[in-house]
Each structure stands twice: as C-alpha cells, then as structure tokens.
Amino acid sequence: MHAFDDSYGFARRLARAAQERLAGVAVRRFPDGETLVRVAQTDRDAILVRSLADPDCKLFETILAANALREAGARRVTLVVPYLPYMRQDKVFHPGEPISQRVIGDLLSTSFDAVLTMEPHLHRVHSLREVFRCRAVNISAAPAIAGWIRRNARRAIVVGPDEESARWVKSIARAAGIDHAVGSKERFGDRRVRVHFEPIRARHAVIVDDIASSGATLAAAARALRAHGVVRVDALVVHAIFATGALATVHRAGVHRVLSCDTIPHPTNAIWCAPLFADRLRKPS
Ligand code: R5P
C-alpha cells in the first residue's frame, strides 16, 4: 500500500486494519513547476491512498503515481480515495460549463482498475457505475456515524438539512435507534442558504450531512433548529472541507460540537472510517 503525505494518517489506520505494509509516495517539484513522483517497490496488486480535497494539483500527482506503480511492476492498481471531489457538478447548470463529475470519472478510470470511496455526493446520478468505467465502490459512513450517535447522543434526534439527505438520515437514525427529521433547503449562492423545518420537539439535535464546505448549510440548519427551541445542536459531517472561516460560521450559528469522519484530515475528525475500507478491500472483487 502506498500513500501521499497528506493522506498518511488515514493510510496508516487502513494499513493496520488491512494488515498491509505502507510506503510513502515522494513528490518533487521542478523549478519549471512540473512534478515528479516516486514510489517504493510494489506488489502486483497495488493500493494507492489519497484523499482529494483541494484537488486540482493532487489529481495529476495521483495519476502520475498510478503510472509509477505500473512501471514498478503492479498489474492492478486500486485507488482508495476517501473524499472524491467534483461530484456536485453532475450536470451543466449554466451554458458553457462542463460536467466535471464525468471528467473525473473518465480520468481516474483510465489510470486505475478500481476506485473505493466514501459517500460521494451523488444527487441526479445515483450510482458510481454511471460515473466510472472501472470498478467503483461507494462505502457508506452510516454504520460508523450511527455507532457514534448510539454511544454519545442516545437522547438526540438526527436531523438532515435537505430532502436529498432523507434516505441517508433515515438509515442512520434507524441504526442508532432514535428519531429523525429532515428539513427543506434553498440555496441562493455559495454561502447563502435557508433551511426550514416543521416544528421539532427535541432538546438535542445532531445535524448530519455528507459535506461541510462553506458551512452555510450547517449554520442555516442550526439557526432554524434553535428557532424551534432546540437547546443543543451538534453537527456531524462525513467530509470536513471547511473552507476558511466556515467552522467559525457554524459555531456562531449556535452549533455546540462539530465532528467529522476522517476522510479529510481536519481537527474535527472523530469518527474513524479506515476499518470500513479495510473490510471492503478484504472482499473479493
Ligand atoms: C449539498 O447538497 C451537500 O449535501 C451539502 O449540504 C453542501 O455541499 C454543503 O455545502 P456548504 O457547507 O457550502 O453549505
């Protein structure tokens, strides 16, 4: 198993759970801005670990590393990409735009034999099979999130900020053995969001969402819940992008505790998902 420095923590947990040896991918930048990557010896079945938040430069390095592994003798290269970017641009929203989701799918399919990721943002496109030409596996974070809620917030209600999240939120609530509610969301811009809930009778709510980027969705949901009289609001996300200032926005809106899965390294990481990837790696393809 190989990993880039920025994903080494997750890769170490994964290597331990999967009982694999782990080596780094060295990256060197030339004066002209080009990049050279170097990998250590590899097995015939290679696994490359890299989370792709802040993706543009990382994507090319990742593709170079896939080629380096094949040149070093790998016959099959699997990408473990805990956070898969560009999934939200799944259609041409305005004339002249690309379908970025399709571009990333094509790009990674030419370099990798398989891609394993967690909770990619699939909205209009429902399956990774429609995005990738290689084998692509979507690992659910729901069991890990439900486990955390069962252990830490047994009396809370699980809340989804929008209809898109309804099925996912329901499955988490069922596995945690508690109630759930789902809001309706309107977005007016990158950082302007309104969330509406029907009246909620609960003192403690845990908002769950797949991604926190500007933090606007979590903040709007928290304000709406507090307006309904919810005393304590916590937030739990899978992918902690948290752009500059986002975490402060969320706390200012009255969120007590913000937690995330470890798909992107972030100070809010509290839910460890590498074992779920290890389970999947053990299954025959
Ligand atoms: C969108 O539908 C997603 O599920 C998230 O709610 C959204 O991407 C969060 O973005 P932000 O933090 O910028 O509101």
pLDDT in tens, the chain (285 residues): 999 999 999 999 999 999 999 999 999 999 999 999 999 999 999 999 999 999 999 999 999 999 999 999 999 999 999 999 999 999 999 999 999 999 999 999 999 999 999 999 998 999 999 999 999 999 999 999 999 999 999 999 999 999 999 999 999 999 999 999 999 999 999 999 999 999 998 899 999 999 999 999 999 999 999 999 999 999 999 999 999 999 999 999 999 999 999 999 999 999 999 999 999 998 877
Catalytic residues: 185
What is the CB neighbour count within 10 angstroms for residue 43? 15
Q: Among 1.10.8.290, 3.40.50.720, 3.40.50.2020, 1.10.1060.10, what is the CATH number of 142-262?
A: 3.40.50.2020
Tell how far the Cα of 213 is from the centroid of ligand 1, in angstroms. Answer: 6
Distance 207 CA to ligand 1 centre (A): 12
Whole-number pLDDT of residue 225: 97
Q: CB of 247 closer than 6 A to ligand 1?
A: no
Question: Sheet holding 269-271: strands in order across?
Answer: 180-182, 157-160, 204-212, 232-240, 255-261, 269-271
Structure confidence at residue 201 (pLDDT): 86
- Sheet containing 35-39: order of strands: 35-39, 23-29, 2-3, 45-49, 76-81, 114-118, 135-139
- Nearest protein Cα to ligand 1, atom 8: 211
Q: What are the sequence ranges of the domains in the chain?
A: 2-139, 142-262
Domains 2-139 and 142-262 share a fold: yes
Which residue has the least CA distance to atom 5 on ligand 1? Answer: 211
CATH class given for the domain over 2-139 = alpha beta
Using an 8 Å Cβ cutoff, are 22 and 11 in contact? yes
The per-residue pLDDT for 283 is 83
Atom of ligand 1 nearest to the CA of 216: 14
For residue 285 the two structure tokens come to 């393809």
Contact 47, 1 (CB under 8 A): yes
Ligand 1, atom 13, residue with closest C-alpha: 214
pTM above 0.85, yes or no: yes
Q: What is the residue with the minimal CA distance to atom 2 of ligand 1?
A: 164
- Ligand 1 centroid to residue 220 C-alpha, Å: 11
Burial of 13 (0-12, 13-18, 19+ CB in 10 A): middle
Ligand 1 nearest atom to the CA of residue 212, by list position: 12
d(CA 249, CA 261): 20
Q: Is the CB of 216 under 6 A from ligand 1?
A: yes
